[in-house]
Amino acid sequence: MLVAVALILSERDMLEYAAESYPLIERHVSVQASATNEEAIRFYHRNFDVHRVVLPRVLSIHQVKQLARVTPVPLEVFAFGSLCIMAEGRCYLSSYLTGESPNTVGACSPARFVRWQQTPQGLESRLNDVLIDRYQDGENAGYPTLCKGRYLVDGERYHALEEPTSLNTLELLPELMAANIASVKIEGRQRSPAYVSQVAKVWRQAIDRCKAAPQNFVPQRDWMETLGAMSEGTQTTLGAYHRKWQ
């Protein structure tokens, strides 16, 4: 028998309802709440007695470590999956194009609006019938997310906002463990069972290896190859965790 041990929530009224009606079930603050600082985290802890906060993907590794030192709530960070360049829970691109907000349907670029079509010009990806990208033979096709499409800007076609790429923090695992990060999040929504199985297997092996010998931890080549094959555009990045200018 499966039993829910935690509820991931972003709306304050839902957090209040859960705290009052189901006090024995842990309350985790969703990434959609965009809690990025100590004051916000303490607010959720003080008012709703939350047990965990999922940090947005816009923080540097330094900021994550700093928050882990000063906040009273265990933290969870994104470890692998789609890279969101927007403020979590505040992006209106998907809802503008589909009429469905990620905050209500639970996903950006909902799968039911996605369409692939082979044309004489190449493989087209569309979101609610709007052309997001067109791929030629041999090109790696990314999921049609509005912020990662290629558009004509001043006569030039390119990724105007962000290239299709996936977040992969495997090399940061020792630092995250040393900072006492409670858990790492692997994106699984709108993903196949095969994707979830392969990615989770790699991360389970890596976490166990890092726990056993954090000082000597180095990501295995086969791990990185597996994760690379599962990534958008078959390329990965550390995202906001690491920027040269920080």
Burial code (b: 16+ CB inside 10 Å, e: under 16) for 158-187 equals ebeeeebbbbbbbebbbbbeebebeebbbb
What H or E segment, with its residue span, contains residue 234? Answer: none
Predicted local distance difference test score (pLDDT) of residue 20: 97
The answer, yes or no, to whether residue 244 has pLDDT greater than 90, is no
Per-domain residue ranges of the chain: 6-86+166-241, 93-159
**Averaged pLDDT for residues 79-108:** 82
Q: How many C-alpha atoms does 52 have within 13 Å on its Cβ side?
A: 21
**What is the spatial distance between Cα 48 and Cα 198, in angstroms, rounded to a whole number?**
36
The answer, yes or no, to whether residue 243 has pLDDT greater than 80, is no
Return the CATH fold of 6-86+166-241: TIM Barrel (3.20.20)
Q: Model's pTM, two decimal places?
A: 0.86
Q: Residue 183: what are its φ and ψ, rounded to 5°?
A: -160, 160
Return the higher-pLDDT residue of 30 and 92: 30
**Averaged pLDDT for residues 182-200:** 90
Q: Please report which confidence band the pLDDT of residue 88 belongs to, taking 50, 70 and 90 as the band edges.
A: confident
**What is the spatial distance between Cα 180 and Cα 144, in angstroms, rounded to a whole number?**
35
**Averaged pLDDT for residues 221-239:** 90
Tokens 């569309």 -> residue: 126
